[in-house]
Amino acid sequence: MRPKVLQLITEGKTKKVWETENPDLVILEFKDDITAFDGAKHDVISGKGAINAAISAKIFEHLNKNGIPTHFVEFVAPRYHVVRRLEMIPLEVVCRNIATGHLVKRLPMIKDGTRLEFPVLEFYLKDDKLHDPLINDHHVVLLKLASWKEIEEMKKITLRVNEVLRTFFEERGLILVDFKLEFGRDRNGKLLVGDELNGDAMRIWDMYTGKILDKDVYRKGYPLDEVLVRYREFYRRVVGADFPGEEVCLAT
């Protein structure tokens, strides 16, 4: 049953979080905003919120079906998710299958596009002012963000998500290059995967053409209408139908 929306709890760069009449549930609203470089680059693309909400819903449904603990409860089209209320941990857990992005910037001896021998996990502190620094397990415990046991649990869940999603995307002719998870604790202290899973939080390449279908096209400065084309293609591959919305881009 869909809970009634009460007031706004918080608004981020790409999502709003709404309180509901059920204290254990909140509603995520996916906005049309797109941002990069810690918010320094920002635009609005009409339809982007609905595309990302639908992609994220499909992916979370698949994770739930595979027994992975997530916050996702229900998709309310076009742009809302009913999710379990969590106390979010300010960490970004990144998992990489192919070297690109910050990994090759930091370690240039690894060639861009190299398939990694094993999935590489990293923790970043979620803090725009500090530009989300890379941190290790010791820092996570030192900063009291999570316990040693929770760190192991987050790593285990992230690797399982990677296995499940790699197959999910392979079946759709897509390569999961890397992705970012965020975790939170429910009222019993149980760790759940939260936030969103779509082209804003992962790199996805077409298996045959190598075409980028994620936010990297925006980061690389492609025109906004081309960014929308790529997001729509990602939608089509994940949802299995064309996105029905409008194609109007509004630069801010």
Task: Note the residues at the interface with ligand C5P (CB under 6 A).
Answer: 92, 94, 101-103, 132, 178-180, 201-203, 215
Q: Which is nearer to ligand C5P, 19 or 132 (CB)?
A: 132
Strand 174-181 vs strand 202-206: parallel, antiparallel, or unpaired?
antiparallel
Minimum distance, C-beta of residue 222 to ligand C5P, in the bound complex (Å): 15
Q: Which is nearer to ligand C5P, 25 or 201 (CB)?
A: 201
List the one residue out of 58, 57, 53, 3 whose CA is nearest residue 25: 3
Minimum distance, C-beta of residue 227 to ligand C5P, in the bound complex (Å): 14
Q: In angstroms, rounded to a whole number, what is the distance separating the alpha carbons of residues 215 and 212? A: 8
Minimum distance, C-beta of residue 190 to ligand C5P, in the bound complex (Å): 23
Minimum distance, C-beta of residue 174 to ligand C5P, in the bound complex (Å): 13
Q: Which is nearer to ligand C5P, 132 or 233 (CB)?
A: 132
Tokens (6 digits) for 228: 């929308």
Q: In angstroms, rounded to a whole number, what is the distance separating the alpha carbons of residues 36 and 43? A: 9
* Cα 169 to chain centroid, rounded: 15
Q: Which is nearer to ligand C5P, 103 or 224 (CB)?
A: 103
* In contact, 36 and 218? CB cutoff 8 Å: yes
Tokens (6 digits) for 233: 């293609």
Q: Which is nearer to ligand C5P, 20 or 52 (CB)?
A: 52
By Cβ distance, which residue is nearest to ligand C5P? 101
Q: In angstroms, rounded to a whole number, what is the distance separating the alpha carbons of residues 8 and 17? A: 6
Minimum distance, C-beta of residue 152 to ligand C5P, in the bound complex (Å): 21
| Degrees to nearest 5, angle at CA 74 with 168 and 96 | 35
Minimum distance, C-beta of residue 166 to ligand C5P, in the bound complex (Å): 14
Tokens (6 digits) for 18: 């709404």
Tokens (6 digits) for 173: 């002719």
Q: Which is nearer to ligand C5P, 35 or 64 (CB)?
A: 35
DSSP annotation of 18: E
Q: In angstroms, rounded to a whole number, what is the distance separating the alpha carbons of residues 107 and 91? A: 22
